[in-house]
Amino acid sequence: MNCLKGLILTVSIAVIATILGTWLPIIGSAIFAIVIGMIIGNIWRVPDTFQPGIKFSSKKVLHYSIIVLGFTLSFQSIGSVGWKSLPIIFITLIVAFLIVYLLLKLLHIDENIGILIGVGTSICGGSAIAATSPVIRAKESEVAFSISTVFLFNLIAVFIFPPMGHLFHMSQTAFGYFSGTAINDTSSVIAASSIYGHQALQTGAIVKLTRTLMIIPVVLFFAVRTMNKMKSKDANVSIVKIFPWFVVGFILASLISTVFNFSPAVIHVFQKISLFFISIAMAGIGLGVNFKQFKEAGFKPILLGLITWFVVIVSSLVTMWFTHLW
Query: Per the structure, how many domains does the chain have?
Result: 1
As a whole number of angstroms, the distance between CA 198 and CA 182 comes to 19
Report if residue 128 sits inside a domain: yes
pLDDT for the residue 226:
84
| H-helix segments, the chain | 4-23, 29-43, 51-56, 62-70, 79-107, 111-119, 126-132, 140-167, 172-182, 186-196, 198-212, 215-233, 239-242, 245-260, 264-287, 291-297, 300-322
Structural domain boundaries, residue 92: 58-278+291-322
pLDDT per position as a tens digit, 163-208: 999 999 999 999 999 999 999 888 888 889 988 988 898 898 889 8
Amino acid found at 38: M
Report if residue 10 sits inside a domain: no
Q: Does the pLDDT of residue 212 top 90, yes or no?
A: no
Report if residue 258 sits inside a domain: yes
Q: Does the pLDDT of residue 239 top 70, yes or no?
A: no
Higher pLDDT, 296 or 220: 220
Q: Does the pLDDT of residue 238 top 80, yes or no?
A: no
As a whole number of angstroms, the distance between CA 5 and CA 131 comes to 26
Report if residue 45 sits inside a domain: no
Report if residue 259 sits inside a domain: yes
pLDDT for the residue 113:
92
pLDDT per position as a tens digit, 250-306: 888 888 988 888 888 998 899 899 889 989 988 988 888 777 766 776 788 889 999
